[in-house]
Amino acid sequence: MDPIDLKKLDPDFKHRLARELGGEQIKKCFSCGVCSARCPIEKIEPEYNPRRIIRMILLGMEEELLKEEFLWHCSTCYTCQESCPQEVDFTEVIFVLRNMAVRKGLAPAGLGAARNLLDQQGRMYEIGDFENEKRKEMGLPEIKGNAKDYRELLKD
């Protein structure tokens, strides 16, 4: 493996990430590895390794990191975050990284679908007449499933 030149990495990456909501504590990490040891995903997919992800952030390996598919494999169980002695909110950091990847157009295909659904109907699952009929049968109140304002709200 060719050595990576530290000077070619982006030392500002960690500072930028720390300015994002949820990323504030990132620089506190002292690489103890509790996050990785407790991560359930890491047990199945060792490539997803919180300690190493943080290390990549601190060293400024933005370009390589944001492309990684494994960023999307976190199950957001918050175990890492709750057991971190240095109070790094790593689950939140994952969200920040994903947001950053999205901004660079690096989100996995298909993720935009969720947003489109919300744009259109304000819900992940459409509630139409069929659904309301079923609800009625069960004695449950009707739900008016149209939220016109979401499209406006989510306008860039």
Partner 1 sequence: MKYAFFLGCTVPVRNLNYELSARWVARELGLELVDLEDFQCCGFPLKSLNLLDSLVVAARNLALAEQAGLPVCTLCSACGGFLSEANSHLQHNHDLKSQVNDRLKVSGLEYKGTIQVKHFIRILYEEIGIERIRERITRPLYGFSFAPHYGCHYIKPARTAGGIDPVEDPKSLTELIEVTGAKALRYETLLDCCGGSVLGIKEDLANTLAGNKLSEVNRLGGNGLVLICPFCNVMFENQQKKIEKKLEQKLKVPVLYYSQLLGLALGTDPDTLGFKLNRIKDKEFLTGFERRD
Partner 2 sequence: MIPQEEFRKLNRVLIWGKGQTAEETATRLTLLGYEVLKINPDEQFQLLSIEGFAGDFQVTLQQTIPSLEKEGGMEMLERIWTEKFGAVVFAPELVSEGNFSDYQVAPTEKIITLEEMQKVLIPGLDEFHQGNHSFSALPTPASAGGRRIFAALKPASYVAFLVGLTTEGNVLDMAVTLSAALEIRKRFQSQISIFCRQVKVAGEGLERLYQACRDEGVLFFKFDQEGPALLRRGDEVVLQFEDTILKRPFILTPDLLVFDSRHLLSSEVRQTALSAGIGMDKSGFLQSANVHFLPQASEREGIFIAGPGKGPMLSQLSIEEARATALSVHHFFQGLTSETMNQEVSVDKGLCTLCLTCLRFCPHQAVGFTHRVFIHPLACRRCGICASECPMDAIQIEGYSDNEVEEKLMALQERGDKPEFSQPRIVVFGCQRSAGVAWEGAESSKLKAQSNLEFIPLPCAGKLDPDHVLKALSVGADGILVLACPEENCRSVHGNTYARERIMEIRKYMEEAGVNPGRIRFEHLSSNMEWYLKEIIKQFSETLEELSNPQSAIRNPKWKNGPH
Partner 3 sequence: MVVEIRNPKFKSIFILNHNFEHNLKVNSKNSKVLIIGGGIAGITAAVALSRLKIAVTLIEKATALGGMVPNYCCKATDACQQCGVCLLNDSLQALSQASNVEVHLQTEVTDLTLDANKFLYTFSRPGGGGEGRAEALLLATGFTPFRAEDKPQYRYGILPNVITGLDLERQLKETGSVVRPSNHTLPTSIAFIQCVGSRDPHLNHPFCSRVCCAYALRMANLIKYKNPQTEIAVFYMDIQTFGKDFSLFMEKTEKQIRFIRTIPGEIQKGDNDQVWLTFQDDDGLSSRKQAFDLAILSVGIMPGSDLEFFKDKLGLPLNGDGFLSEANEIFSSKGIFLAGTVRGPKGIAGSITQAYRTAEEVAAYLKTRPV
Binding site for partner 2 (CB under 8 A): 1-7, 11, 14-15, 27-31, 51-52, 55-56, 58-59
Q: Using CB under 8 A as the criterion, which residues of the chain lie in contact with partner 3 when the complex forms? A: 28, 30, 32-39, 42-43, 46, 49, 51-52, 83-87
Q: Using CB under 8 A as the criterion, which residues of the chain lie in contact with partner 1 when the complex forms? A: 20-22, 40-41, 44-45, 72-79, 81-82, 89, 91-92, 95-96, 98-99, 102, 107-108, 110-112, 114-115, 118, 122-127, 131, 134-135, 138-141, 143-144, 147, 149-150, 152-155
**Considering CB distances under 5 to 8 angstroms, the limit depending on partner class, which of partner 2, partner 1, partner 3, none binds residue 133?**
none
Residue type, 152: E
Contacts of 86 (CB under 8 A, 6+ apart): 25, 28, 29, 30, 32
Residue 71 CB, shortest distance to partner 3, in Å, is 17
User: What Rg do the C-alpha atoms of the chain give, in angstroms?
Assistant: 20
Residue 89 CB, shortest distance to partner 1, in Å, is 7
Please check whether residue 72 is in contact with residue 14, taking contact to mean a CB–CB distance below 8 angstroms: no
